[in-house]
Amino acid sequence: MMWYDGGWGWGGWIVMTVFTVLLWAVLIVGLVALVRLLTGTRHHQQPGPPPPGEGGRQGRGAENLLAERFARGEIDEDEYKRRLALLREHR
């Protein structure tokens, strides 16, 4: 009784499959984003100065950083001693 003339054939199934997968992907990503927004899970730093010993590395932190660079071989012994003397001189 019904005649389906002019159908899409296999192309219709492929297009429908791709759009279904895309729809589910968008829904899942949206749900994850909504859950992260509502639970407050964020991966950015709060504004303000860095805690002592991090980021700014002042005083002993600068000497430790210099020692780490020397230990990794980034600077030689002469440069290490010269910079260490400068750090201690300007305390």
Domains of the chain: which residue ranges?
7-41, 60-89
Q: pTM of whole model > 0.75? A: no
**Tens digits of residue pLDDT in 20-48:** 999 999 999 999 999 999 988 665 555 65
Q: In the prediction, which pLDDT does 49 show?
A: 56
Residue 18 Cα distances to 13, 15, 45, angstroms? 9, 5, 38
Q: In the prediction, which pLDDT does 87 show?
A: 87
Q: How many CB atoms lie within 10 A of CB 79?
A: 13
